[in-house]
Amino acid sequence: MRGSVKKSLIHIPYTLKNPYSPFLVSVSRPIITKDFAGLGRYKIKNIDINAGFLRTIALQDTINKMKKKKIYFYPTQKALKVAFMLGEIDTAYNLNSTSVDKTDISKWNSVKITQYTDYSSLITIFYNNVDPILSNKKIRQALNYALSEKVIFGKRAFGPIPPNSLYFELSSSYKTSDVELSKTLLSTVSEPIGTLVISTPEEYLEAAKQMQKDWQKVGIKTTVKIVDNIPSNFQIFLYKLKLPLDPDQYILWHSAQPDNIVHYKNLRIDKLLEDGRSIADVEKRKKIYADFQKYLNDDAPASFYYFPINYTLSKK
C-alpha cells in the first residue's frame, strides 16, 4: 500500500511487525548494492528510525544530484488516512476503506475516489488444525458454510486460487454459504465448542465483526483479539494471503513445511502439491490444481473469505 505525497514524496504504509508472506522469492542479485545504491538511478541517502520503527528513507538520484525522493512509513492505514485528511499527502493508494472513525472521506467534494478488486490478495480465515476444537473437520466446515455469501469489503472467494487464474476450477458441488448445512454439521458435534478467539490486526477488525455476526446466527460465540504480529499460537487468525501468479502453494499447505501455520496434514494434498510443482505441462497442472482446490475446500483447513476492494484517494 502506498501513497504519493507533495514535492514528489512517496508514502508506503506498514501494517504487521512480522507480515506473513508464505511465498518467498529469490533474486539473482542484491536489490541494494554497494554504498546503498539500488538497481536503478537512486541510492539511499538517509534512513530515519525512531524507537525501532522505520519512519523515512531518503533517496537521491545518482545522475541528477538535485533530484531527491522520500519514502514515508506509517504504522497503520488509519495513520495514512489522517495524513491525507491533514493535507500531508495528495494521494493515498491501496486503502481497504475510505472511512476514519466516523468520517467518510469519500463524501468530501474535493476528493476523487477510485477502486478495484485486488485478486493478488486473499483475505483468509486460518483455523488451527491441531486446536482441540478446530481439529474437528465438521466444525471447520460449519464455520465455513456459515459465512455470508456477500462481503461488503470485497468479492467473495471460492477457494485458494483467484477466479482470474487459468488454474481456477470450481467444483459443481461447492457452496460458499449454506446456513442450514452449517447448523446440521454442528448438531452432530458432541463436544462443547465454547467461545472461539479470532486474532487479527486492526486493519481487518470490521471483517472480523462480520464473521462474528455470521457465526452467531448458527450459535457460535466468538471474541476478537487485536494482534500486531503473527500469533505463535491461535485458534482463528484472519489475515491477508498474498497470491503469486503461479498456483503453487506448496509451502503453505504441505504438511512438511514450517510456513504451514495451521498445522494442516493431508497426504492427498501433499501429493497434489508435489506433483503440481514438478510438472510443466499446463493441461496436466490444471487437472492437478482442480483436484487441489476441490479437496482443500472440502477439508476446510481455512476459509478463503474475500478478495479486497482497494481504494485510492486523491485530491481533485
Q: Quick one: pLDDT at residue 30?
A: 57
Going by C-alpha positions, the residue among 159, 166, 131, 122 that lies closest to residue 22 is: 122
Q: Which residues, other chains included, contact 25 with Cβ-Cβ below 8 Å and sequence gap of 6+?
A: none
Q: What pLDDT is stored for residue 53 in this prediction?
A: 78
pLDDT at 25: 41
Alpha-helical runs (H) found in 73-136: 77-85
Q: What is the pLDDT of residue 4?
A: 40
What contacts 22, CB < 8 A, 6 or more positions away? 241, 242, 249, 251, 252, 259
Interval 263-292: pLDDT, tens: 999 999 999 999 999 999 999 999 999 999
The two beta strands, 111-117 and 91-95, are unpaired
User: Mean pLDDT, 10 residues at a time, over the chain (316 residues)?
Assistant: 41 42 47 60 85 83 84 83 89 86 89 93 97 97 96 93 93 82 96 96 94 98 94 95 93 95 98 97 97 96 96 91
Under a CB-based contact definition with an 8 Å cutoff, are residues 142 and 243 in contact?
no
Say what the pLDDT of residue 33 is. Answer: 60
Q: Cell numbers at residue 3, please?
A: 501513497
| Single-letter amino acid code for the residue at 250 | Y
Each domain of the chain, given as residue ranges in start order, spans 3-95, 121-309
Helix, strand, coil percentages in the chain from 3-state DSSP, rounded to 5:
25, 30, 45
Amino acid at 89: I
**Which residues lie closer than 8 Å to 299 by C-beta, 6 or more apart?**
137, 140, 264, 266, 269
How is domain 121-309 classified at the CATH fold level?
Answer: Dipeptide-binding Protein; domain 3 (3.10.105)
pTM of the full structure: 0.79
Tell me the three cell numbers of residue 87.
493535507
**Cβ within 8 Å of residue 300, ≥6 positions away:** 127, 137, 140, 141, 143, 144
Count of C-beta atoms within a 10 Å radius of residue 250: 19
